[in-house]
Structure 1
Amino acid sequence: MSFNFQPLGDSALRIQVGDRIDPSVHQRVRVLCRQLENAKIPGVVEWIPTYCAVTVMYHPHQIGYQTLCRYVKELREEPVEDAASTVEVIHLPVIYGGDWGPDLISVAELNGLSMEEVIRIHSEKPYLVYMMGFVPGFPYLGGMSPKIAASRLAEPRPRIPAGSVGIAGIQTGVYPLETPGGWRLIGHTPVPLYDPDRERPILLEAGQYVKFDPVDEEGYRFVCEQVKNGSYQTKKSVCLQEEVES
C-alpha cells in the first residue's frame, strides 16, 4: 500500500495510507504510528492518527518538509509486524432508549426495525476505535452494521449530555463532554470517557476496541453509584482479532 504526502501549512505533514474506513487500512495507520514513535525523528512534535491517514506535526526550523518525507519513506522499508492475534476490549455499560436515548425510536423506524432489534445489533460486537476527536475523549468507532445506520439530525442539539451514545451514518460514538451535536442519541453510559482528575484523563485510544453492554435502569443506577464513590472498575476482556473483524 503506497503512501501519499501532503503538506498542511508549514509545520504539518499528512500521510495518506488509504481511502476507505477499513480495519486493514487502519492497521497500516497504527503500524506507521508505532514506527514514528520508535524512530524519534528530530523535530517531530507529535502524530495524529485518523481513519486513513496520519498527520505529523513538526518544527520547521528543526526539520524541513522534504527531509521529513524522506524519513517516512525509509520507515516504509522496515518490516511490518503482523497484527496481534488477540485484542483488548473495553466494555461500556449502556442504558438504551427513553430519556437516555431519545432517538432510538427514529433509528428503528428509519431502518424498519424494532427498538429491541436496534439494541441487539448495536451491542452484539466490539467496535474498533479508529480515531479520537472532536473534543477530548470522543471515540470514532467503526464496524457498525448498516442495518441500523441513520443520518445526522437536520438540526443539531445545542446540548448533549456527557456519556450519550450516538449514531451518525454508519458510525457510532460516545460524547465524553456536554457539547452541541447532531448525532442521533440511542443510549447513555455512566462511565466517564474523559476525566481531567484521573492520572490518565482519556479512557480510550485509537486501536482499542469498545463493546457496549446493555443494562436496565437498576444496573445503570448501580454503575452510577460506583462511579460516584470511585469504586467502579472498567471491565476489560480479550478476544481473537479474527472475531472482532469478522
Structure 2
Amino acid sequence: MVKIKPAGDQAVTVEFADVIDETVSARVIALDRDLKADPVAGITETVPTYRSLLVFFDPAILPGRALMATLRDRVDASAEPDETQARHFTIPVCYQGIDALDLAELSAARGLSQQEVIALHTGATYRVFMIGFAPGFTYLGGLPEALHTPRLTEPRQKVPAGAVGIGGAQAAINSVAGPSGWRYIGRTPVKLFDPERSDPAFFRAGDFIRFRAVSPDAVAALDRRVAAGDPIVECEQPW
C-alpha cells in the first residue's frame, strides 16, 4: 500500500514500496510526470528516488494536509505507468587503459575475462532509477547478475567524472570528480552535470541507457568535442 507521510514542514514523501524494483520505479516516475504535466499550486519541486517521490511545497500556499489528500488522488490516477514517454540513449564508454580502474580485479573476482565483462556490460539495457548522491550522479538498474560485485573495502579519494561503475547489484555513472567506493570499469566522455544547461543533469529518472565500447583514441576525440560544447549523444527512438 502506498504511504504518504510528512517529511519536515515543507515536504511530503510518497512511498510506493520498500524494495528496489522496476515496477515500483515506473510508478514513482508516473506520479512525477503527472505532477509536472498538471501542476499543483504550491508544489515547488519533486525528487524521484528508487521507491518514493519527495514533494516539496510552500505551506503558505498549500497546507500539508491538503497536499497529502491531493497526492492520494494523483497516486490513484497515475497507477498505470506510461513507459512510452521514456527517453533512450546509447552511451560511449572506454573500457581500456586508465579509464578501466577496476576492470582487471573485477574480472578476476567474477571468474570472467575482461572481454566477457565488457560484453556483458554492453549487452544489457539499464534503467535510470534516480539521480542523487552528487549532482547528476546516475543510479542504474539492469546490471547482469554475473557482474554483481561488492564495493571496494577502502574507497578511492578521487574518481573522475564519467566513470562507469558497479556497486553490488547496481550500476552507476559518476557525474563529478570525487571520492567513491564503487568499482569502475570504464569512463564515458558524456558530461552528466553542467550547471550552465537549462537542465543541469543530463539524465533523469525513467531514462533507458545502453553502453557501447569505444577505443582510447575515440574517447579522446569525444572528450575534445565535449570540451567544445558538443553533447555527443542525443535521445533516440525506443529500441
- TM-score by shorter chain over 0.5: yes
Any idea what the Cα deviations from partners look like across 1:60-84, whole Å, max 9, x if unmatched?
3333332211111122342655533
How far apart are the structure 1 equivalents of 2:61 and 2:72? 19
Count of aligned pairs between the two proteins: 239
CA contact (8 A) 1:91 1:210 kept: yes
Superposed counterparts of 1:74-223, under 5 Å: 74-78=73-77, 80=79, 83-85=82-84, 87-223=86-222
Shift of 1:214: 0.4
How far apart are the structure 1 equivalents of 2:223 and 2:98? 16
How far apart are the structure 1 equivalents of 2:197 and 2:54? 27
Shift of 1:27: 1.2
77-86 vs 225-234, greater mean Cα deviation = 77-86
Match of 1:244 in 2: none
% identical equivalent positions: 33
CA contact (8 A) 2:43 2:55 kept: yes
Shift of 1:126: 2.2
Residues 14 and 116 of structure 1: CA distance in aligned 2, closer, same or farther (over 3 Å): same
Shift of 1:31: 1.2
How far apart are the structure 2 equivalents of 1:87 and 1:7? 29
Match of 2:20 in 1: 21
Any idea what the Cα deviations from partners look like across 1:126-163, whole Å, max 9, x if unmatched?
21111101111111011111110111111111111111
Match of 2:57 in 1: 58
- In the superposition, the TM-score normalised over structure 2's length comes to 0.91
Aligned residue for 2:60, secondary structure, equals: coil
How far apart are the structure 1 equivalents of 2:192 and 2:11? 28
Any idea what the Cα deviations from partners look like across 1:187-207, whole Å, max 9, x if unmatched?
111121112233443211111
Kindly report the root-mean-square deviation, in angstroms, between the aligned alpha carbons of the 2 structures: 2.0
How far apart are the structure 2 equivalents of 1:235 and 1:40? 27
Shift of 1:181: 1.0
Aligned residue for 1:192, secondary structure, equals: coil
How far apart are the structure 2 equivalents of 1:79 and 1:86? 14
Residues 206 and 124 of structure 1: CA distance in aligned 2, closer, same or farther (over 3 Å): same
Aligned residue for 1:238, secondary structure, equals: coil
Shift of 1:86: 7.6
Match of 1:73 in 2: 72
Q: Unaligned regions of 5+ residues in structure 2, if any?
A: none
142-151 vs 77-86, greater mean Cα deviation = 77-86
Shift of 1:39: 4.0
Any idea what the Cα deviations from partners look like across 1:204-231, whole Å, max 9, x if unmatched?
1111111111011222122122223344
77-86 vs 22-31, greater mean Cα deviation = 77-86
How far apart are the structure 1 equivalents of 2:197 and 2:47? 22
Residues 203 and 74 of structure 1: CA distance in aligned 2, closer, same or farther (over 3 Å): same
Shift of 1:59: 2.0
- In the superposition, the TM-score normalised over structure 1's length comes to 0.89
